[in-house]
Amino acid sequence: MEKKRCDFNLGAKKYKVFEKFLIYHDTRWCKPEHRDQELYAMLVLEGMQAGVSWDLILNKEDNFRKAFDNFDPRIVAEYDEAKFEELMQDRGIIRNRSKIRAAVTNARAFLKVQKEFGSFDKYIWGFTEGNIIDHHLLKAEDMPAKDELSERISKDLKKRGFKFVGPKIIYSYIQGIGIVNDHLEYCDYR
């Protein structure tokens, strides 16, 4: 018997990254993530997604990981102008000046948060005291683009110097790292 998935993913069949999209939905989306390096990776990827489709990001994810030193925030925080120009020439990633600069700025801010809290994981999951928020959605149309939690996290991240962390990006981020579970009730991948 075929497993049921959230219905908004079924439209992805038209994209060439359908398999990557399904793998992401089935194994990563709304699944708790606690590894700091992966929490940074998702923050960069979600920021890169602003204005483009998640399918495009998934299609380029391997290129992003290679270009950004596997999203090691300690390495990215040290990027200089030469590395920035190298990234601007990399056709395998989104070559947006503001987004690339934000990845570096965010790596530096990320390291400060790690130093203050002991880990970024403790910081980000602290907003829910380590709890997962499950909305028990019945249909995709009920899924918000942002909520009070994403607005609160966004405001705090901005105060700490992060860029490309508006409430909508952060809502998608907290879904991506599993703080929010928005798999539809009937989805076998909840």
Fold category of 7-181 in CATH: Endonuclease III; domain 1 (1.10.340)
Just list the catalytic residues: 24, 46, 54
Averaged pLDDT, 125-150: 95
Within 13 Å and on the Cβ side, how many CA atoms surround 167?
Answer: 10
- How far apart CA 177 and CA 186 sit, in angstroms, is 21
Within 13 Å and on the Cβ side, how many CA atoms surround 78?
Answer: 4
pLDDT band at 12 (very low <50, low <70, confident <90, very high): very low
- How far apart CA 59 and CA 93 sit, in angstroms, is 10
Token output for 58: 């998934």
pLDDT at 8: 66
Averaged pLDDT, 53-69: 95
pLDDT at 165: 98
Within 13 Å and on the Cβ side, how many CA atoms surround 181?
Answer: 17
What is the percent of the chain with per-residue pLDDT over 70, rounded to a whole number?
95
Q: Residue 36 above 70 pLDDT?
A: yes
What's the DSSP call for residue 70? G
Measuring CA to CA, how many Å separate 25 from each of 16, 31, 58, 115, 184?
15, 9, 11, 32, 12
pLDDT at 55: 87
Helix H or strand E segment including 85: helix 81-88
pLDDT band at 17 (very low <50, low <70, confident <90, very high): very low
Averaged pLDDT, 39-64: 95
pLDDT-wise least confident of 6-20, 22-36, 46-60? 6-20
The full set of domain ranges for the chain reads 7-181
- How far apart CA 160 and CA 110 sit, in angstroms, is 9
pLDDT per residue as tens digits for the range 107-121: 999 999 999 999 999
pLDDT band at 42 (very low <50, low <70, confident <90, very high): very high
pLDDT-wise least confident of 13-27, 39-53, 76-90, 132-146? 13-27
Residue 71 falls in which region: left (phi positive, over 0), alpha (psi -120 to 50) or beta: left
Measured in whole angstroms, the distance separating CA 31 from the mean position of its chain's CA atoms is 12
Q: Residue 93 above 90 pLDDT?
A: yes
Are residues 19 and 7 in contact, defined by beta-carbon separation less than 8 angstroms? no
pLDDT band at 21 (very low <50, low <70, confident <90, very high): confident
Are residues 174 and 180 in contact, defined by beta-carbon separation less than 8 angstroms? yes
Token output for 178: 């599993």
What is the percent of the chain with per-residue pLDDT over 90, rounded to a whole number?
85
